[in-house]
Amino acid sequence: MGSGDRSKLVRICDQAGRPRGTGFVADDRGTVVTAHQAVTSPGPLLLHGTDGRTCTVAPDDITALPALGLALLRTGGPDALDAEPLPIAGHDRTEPGGYVDIAAHGRREARVLGTTPATYTAPDGVGHPVPAALELALGTDGRDALRSGGAAIGGPVTDPVTGAVVGILCTALTAPHEAAGLALPITRGADGTLDALLRRNAAAAPAYGPDLNLAGALQLTATSVGSADGPRARTAPVERADVHAGFAAFAAGTGLVLGLVGAPGTGRTTELAALAGRRADGGAPAPTLWLRGADLLAEDTSIAEAASRTLTRAARIVTAAGARGDMNTATPERVARLAADAGHPLLVVLDGPEEMPPLLAHRLADWTAGTVTWLREQGVRLVVACRPEHWETAGALYPPDALHRPHRPARRLPAALRLGDLTPEQAERAKEAYGIPPAALAPGHDRHPLTLRLLAEVRAALPPGVPGRPDTEDVFGAHLDLLCVRVAVRIAAAADEQPRGAAVRRLAAGVAGQVHEAARRCLGPGQGELDRAAFEEIFPWRTGWASAVLTEGLLVPAGAGYRFAHEELGDWVQGAHLDLDAALRSLVHRWHRGSGGPDRVPHPRTVGEPRSLPVPRHRIGPVIQAMVLLGRRQGTAALAHRMADLIEALDRLWTDESPRDEDAAWWAAHLLGGSLLRVPDARPYRGVLRVLAGRITRRSAAPDGPGALGAYAEFGPWFWRRLRLPEEDRIDLLRRLVPADGLPRTDGDERYLDAVARRLALDAPAVQPLLCRWFTDERPLLVGPDAPDVPLRPTVAAAAQALLYARRDLALDDLTDALIATPHQRAGELLLALAEDEPTALCRAVERWARDEDRPARRAAAARYAGLLQQRVTAEGDRALLRSAALVLLDRPEDSALHAAALTLLVRDPVARRSHLPGALRAFAAGDPRLPVELLAEVFPAHPEPVLAALRARLARPGDGGGAVLRALAGLDTPALALHVAGLVREYIDAHPEDGTHAAEYVDLRLEHGPAARALLLPLVTGLLRDRPAPPPVRAALARVLAGAGSAASRPLRAELLEVLLEFEQVTGRDPDVLEALLRAAAEGSERRPEIRTRALVHRTGMLLVRTPEGAARFDRGLVELARDVPGFAALVTRWLADAPQEWAAVVGPSARRTVEALETSRPPMPMPMQAAGREHGSLRPA
């Protein structure tokens, strides 16, 4: 395109329309460059662009550069004149003898004579030296055009080969010698404004050949992106903020290589295209060169060769579109320098490196080393988008410092950015953009990017209102049918036929058959591609089949062959034709069945068995699809059997000592995991999953801990979170795996309990009851060999309890309901902890449980925990909840067993006490054992008379109910009530003269209060023993209490009261039953009492009894019985008799004395342990 092309030039006129000169647009802002000579007239200038567009330029919009002889005109934007910018040559490369084009009243040719010093004389008369003006040789017409001035002033001088501007015509230039024509050079570095314009020009006006600039590089690299194979999405993809942030961090970091890993269909190519678009459309455009793995050749030593070939292809396309210049100069190294000079390094994206030739894949290490060296030397960045299976090997070949490590790198892989399904929010936006209803896809399939995209295309071809919720496989099938129909229509149209419904369907069926044949051939040797010969055989060009298939985007060119446009769809079609059992045998089973070593040497081949080459790991897709299809066709049992075989293979291929075949173990683990994650419903495979969980836990218990998992390490917590299982089954499987969490991890991966915590955070109401089921699992967590030996190790149940408590804030109300529904001690412990730390939540739960109409156990729990909470809550809102719960319980006649608890709570509540105290006292008086005496003691100061009346009525009732009341009264220290207790006890004894046990028990309990009980207890007991003597049964029971040993605090008062009892029996009482009870109490407490006190008590009791013949007989008989029944008492009596025979002769009869002595002497002596005969060690013979 010459410099005289009027569509590229701008005419400069004054307001009267007289031509003042010519200029050209130089940047994306519409800035016009011309000679200073053309803009010196006073007043505004009128610029004329293409299609009659004009623009007025005021003097303030003119940047005059008289020292350079140039002027820059601001026009207000690129649309003001609608003229394309012309590129400006990047450096002075005009050589004498070369030809250029000039714009002087039309396109003219001139020859460059060289450069010469010149002077630019401005209209104001000031001369400005121009050190290196271009001297041009012109013909007669050219000289005349320059002499006439006008439009010739400011015209660009351009390179006829590249079209780049090398100078600007100026008639005000003068040289020391006569020159036919002179042009101003556009000098860099002489003015900042001009330099900024030149930078914008380099980014906006493409130039090629020797003048290749940033804009030319951007055009070439954009062509490589635009020609990337694959059908374009009809709707802009949804932005994924996490991926965007990952790319931004890579751009700002120092790493050379970023791995973008993701399964097919997750949008790797889509995200790369979005990245390239953002780099090209930003404020500072940056070049992105797009490569595919199929662009690599077997003889390549680095990525530079493929980049060079891609630029060459892009150059041919650009040249065909009209670009000028020698494209051989557009090398990757030069493009990289241009990008680096612009401040943004060249980015090379390698999409699908799995497609590289097998020979190159075998020497991938050398290719990677060469690539890293080239990247470092040229300052180029690389993004590799591939499957995880490829990056697992290829990523490990890059030096660690060359890889960019994302904020959240992919697990169990070299540093990479993982791409998965869309988040729920992103999926919602994608559905809205595609016009897909929210419930149009089956659950678990509605966030897969490729599924959403293909479903949108299918729905666009269907009538509205088609029912159903398809899954991914259904969408793939429908999309394949749709493409086959479209291909059939194209084939029929190319044959000048008028296709009708039945004919199109028959033709579409034929196309589908050929597509399946193509998929079958893709399963052959290679990287999953269809070679050119096979493609032309299946889809002939002469019949229009090939062009129809390629136009519809079912297959796309890839290197020397063809591939399915969507990798995941291709894997799905190929999986339908794979012999699964033969594949499993080739990949896994033949390496462990009968193999004795780790060498990968297959068994001797049988007749007809083909020799197979190693299968690339990234070709796992069709095998997994075949396994999933097996479950659909033959049932889940068939697939479960294959999965179980893979677990058995893992055990054999990776023993505790070392792997027998690491590659086969890799295939077994990834096929097992991939198929379990792909099945639409994993419930039929719960048995397989339980076995797998057991293997992982067992391997974790090995001496090396999690480091000894081997291939089982592939089944980390992330795997169990992604299974398509009901939450109940998932949490149960994680429970089986939690014991392995006790071992220290060295890989930095999350623990199984962390996975449970994540599920808990997602849906706490559903997971909390499932965690409560763990309370019965008391398996201890595993510990390593270096762990300290502790008596109590944490258990699975304790871990669940701790997790529920730590994350209680997720759903407190649901947690309380889950705990109360779990009949286990740990649930009760956790509820008690919530009562301490979250009383308000538990108050809400109590009020909720009290209103439960269907579950009496909940109402009973409400009554139980309401009483527990009442002592802890202080806020009126919490008290109101408890009060409401108690009223609800009290209003239900069928819950009569809970009324006492409800009344207790209401009586203790200050607001409800007055209205419910009478009812509580009536129930207490009627003998309700569930109403505590402590409740009456609390309200006694404010309501003494009703409380005393209730106590009297209760104690007066027949039966043993009064005993519990007396025991409770004995434990109280309420001063106001204690003053009345003595009277209540006396009234009870009067009402129950034969029941001395309960009264004595009250006295015994009060005695243990020590000296503080003396003031009230002494009058009561002395009254019962002396002032108003109680009946003999009562005195006998008191005798047993007073003669008891008791604590040190109670002994003085016991002794004092015992003396009162003895004095009364000596003078007044004389009841042998009382004295006999005293004798028995003295003997039975002899071991806890000093011997001297026991001797005195027995002797004095005997002296009181022997005053009557009946008493003497009872004393002798009782002494003999006690000597026989009470251990050690016979020895005491014998010693007493021997020490003071005269003293005891008046008390103990001869017969009783002989009997006691006989009992003592007849006891066999306790033998000493001795060594057994005939033995070398001691043994103890039983006594």
pLDDT digits 0-9 by tens, 1138-1147 = 888 888 888 8
pLDDT at position 234 over 80: no
User: What contacts 84, CB < 8 A, 6 or more positions away?
Assistant: 7, 8, 25, 205
What tokens appear for 295 in the block? 């662009």
Pinpoint the alpha helices (H) of 957-1085: 961-970, 975-991, 997-1007, 1014-1022, 1032-1042, 1051-1064, 1072-1084
Residue of 208 and 43 predicted with greater confidence: 208
What's residue 707's pLDDT?
A: 53
Residue range 27-34: mean pLDDT, rounded: 93
Characterize 579-612 residue by residue with b for buried, 16 or more Cβ atoms within 10 angstroms of its Cβ, and e for exposed. ebeebbbbbbbbbbeebeeeeeeeeeeeeeeeee
In one-letter notation, the amino acid at residue 858 is R
Pinpoint the alpha helices (H) of 126-213: 140-147, 192-204
What's residue 958's pLDDT?
A: 83
pLDDT at position 353 over 60: yes
Residue range 465-484: mean pLDDT, rounded: 92
Phi, psi of 912 (to 5 degrees): -100, 0
Span between the terminal Cα atoms of the chain, in Å: 125
Residue range 170-189: mean pLDDT, rounded: 89
Starting at the earlier edge strand, list the strands of the sheet with 45-48. 54-57, 45-48, 9-13, 19-25, 32-35, 70-73, 62-65
What are the tens digits of pLDDT across the range 718-751? 999 999 999 999 999 999 999 988 776 655 678 8
What tokens appear for 527 in the block? 């990287």
Give me the percent of the chain exceeding a pLDDT of 90. Answer: 51
In one-letter notation, the amino acid at residue 258 is L
What's residue 708's pLDDT?
A: 63
What are the tens digits of pLDDT across the range 912-968? 989 999 999 898 888 888 888 888 888 888 888 998 898 888 888 887 778 888 888
What's residue 2's pLDDT?
A: 42
DSSP for 1059-1113, written as a single string: HHHHHHIIIII--HHHHHHHHHHHHHTGGGS-HHHHHHHHHHHHHHHTTSHHHHH
The pTM score is: 0.79
- DSSP state letter for 157: E
Task: Name which of 90, 91, 111 is nearest 101 in CA terms.
Answer: 111
Angle at 151 between CA 86 and CA 184, to 5 degrees: 60
Q: How far apart are CA 1112 and CA 1119, in angstroms?
A: 10
Q: Which pLDDT band holds residue 4 (cuts at 50, 70, 90)?
A: very low
pLDDT at position 887 over 50: yes
Task: Decide: helix, strand or coil at residue 63.
Answer: strand
Q: How far apart are CA 745 and CA 749, in angstroms?
A: 7
Residue range 10-31: mean pLDDT, rounded: 91
Q: How far apart are CA 588 and CA 649, in angstroms?
A: 7
pLDDT at position 598 over 50: no
What's residue 250's pLDDT?
A: 95
Q: How far apart are CA 107 and CA 145, in angstroms?
A: 11
- Looking at every residue in the chain, the average pLDDT score rounds to 87
Q: How far apart are CA 741 and CA 756, in angstroms?
A: 12
What's residue 382's pLDDT?
A: 97
Residue range 1018-1033: mean pLDDT, rounded: 86
Interhelix angle 1014-1022/975-991, rounded to 10 degrees, is: 20
Q: How far apart are CA 307 and CA 331, in angstroms?
A: 8
In one-letter notation, the amino acid at residue 792 is L
Task: Name which of 618, 584, 615, 575 is nearest 472 in CA terms.
Answer: 575
- 1104 and 1062 Cβ atoms separated by less than 8 Å: yes
Residue of 860 and 1129 predicted with greater confidence: 860
What's residue 476's pLDDT?
A: 95
What's residue 538's pLDDT?
A: 94
Residue range 545-571: mean pLDDT, rounded: 91
Q: How far apart are CA 99 and CA 382, in angstroms?
A: 41
What's residue 712's pLDDT?
A: 86
Interhelix angle 580-587/662-678, rounded to 10 degrees, is: 140
Question: How many CB atoms are located within 10 Å of the residue 987 CB?
Answer: 14
User: What contacts 531, CB < 8 A, 6 or more positions away?
Assistant: 560, 561
Q: How far apart are CA 650 and CA 713, in angstroms?
A: 11
**Bridge partners of 381?**
347
Q: How far apart are CA 345 and CA 338, in angstroms?
A: 9
165: enclosing H helix or E strand: strand 165-169
- 738 and 781 Cβ atoms separated by less than 8 Å: yes
**3, 48, 51, 82, 629 from 7: Cα distances, Å:** 10, 10, 8, 9, 62
Q: How far apart are CA 248 and CA 559, in angstroms?
A: 31
What are the tens digits of pLDDT across the range 493-528? 887 777 677 888 899 999 999 999 999 999 887 788
| Burial degree of 98 (CB within 10 A; 0-12, 13-18, 19+) | middle
Phi, psi of 890 (to 5 degrees): -70, -25
Span of 633-642, 784-793, 1125-1134 with lowest mean pLDDT: 784-793
Question: How many CB atoms are located within 10 Å of the residue 207 CB?
Answer: 28
Residue range 661-676: mean pLDDT, rounded: 92
pLDDT at position 159 over 70: yes
In one-letter notation, the amino acid at residue 251 is A
- 150 and 141 Cβ atoms separated by less than 8 Å: no
Q: Which pLDDT band holds residue 789 (cuts at 50, 70, 90)?
A: low
**295, 296, 337, 426, 755 from 308: Cα distances, Å:** 10, 11, 14, 38, 47
What are the tens digits of pLDDT across the range 414-438? 999 999 999 999 999 999 999 999 9
What's residue 1122's pLDDT?
A: 87
DSSP for 321-344, written as a single string: TT--S-GGG--HHHHHHHHHHTTS
Span of 465-479, 805-819, 883-897, 1060-1074 with lowest mean pLDDT: 1060-1074
Q: How far apart are CA 667 and CA 50, in angstroms?
A: 65
- 247 and 378 Cβ atoms separated by less than 8 Å: no
Q: Which pLDDT band holds residue 1054 (cuts at 50, 70, 90)?
A: confident
Q: Which pLDDT band holds residue 593 (cuts at 50, 70, 90)?
A: low
- 781 and 701 Cβ atoms separated by less than 8 Å: no
User: What contacts 1183, CB < 8 A, 6 or more positions away?
Assistant: 1166, 1167
- 729 and 768 Cβ atoms separated by less than 8 Å: no
Task: Name which of 479, 518, 454, 424 is nearest 235 in CA terms.
Answer: 454
The alpha carbons of the chain give a radius of gyration, in whole angstroms, of 51
What are the tens digits of pLDDT across the range 603-660? 444 444 444 457 888 899 999 999 999 999 999 999 999 999 999 999 888 776 666 7
- 157 and 168 Cβ atoms separated by less than 8 Å: yes
Question: How many CB atoms are located within 10 Å of the residue 424 CB?
Answer: 9
Residue range 984-1012: mean pLDDT, rounded: 85
Q: How far apart are CA 977 and CA 994, in angstroms?
A: 26
Residue range 1020-1045: mean pLDDT, rounded: 86
Give the alpha-carbon dihedral of 185, 188, 192, 193, to 10 degrees.
Answer: 50
pLDDT at position 326 over 80: yes
Q: How far apart are CA 22 and CA 103, in angstroms?
A: 8
Q: Are strands 9-13 and 45-48 parallel, antiparallel or unpaired?
A: antiparallel
Phi, psi of 280 (to 5 degrees): -80, -30
Task: Name which of 571, 600, 594, 575 is nearest 664 in CA terms.
Answer: 600
What are the tens digits of pLDDT across the range 377-419? 999 999 999 999 999 999 999 999 999 999 988 888 999 999 9
pLDDT at position 703 over 70: no
The 3 state secondary structure assigned to 834-893 is HHHHCHHHHHHHHHHHHCCCCCHHHHHHHHHHHHHHHCCCCCHHHHHHHHHHHHHHHCCH
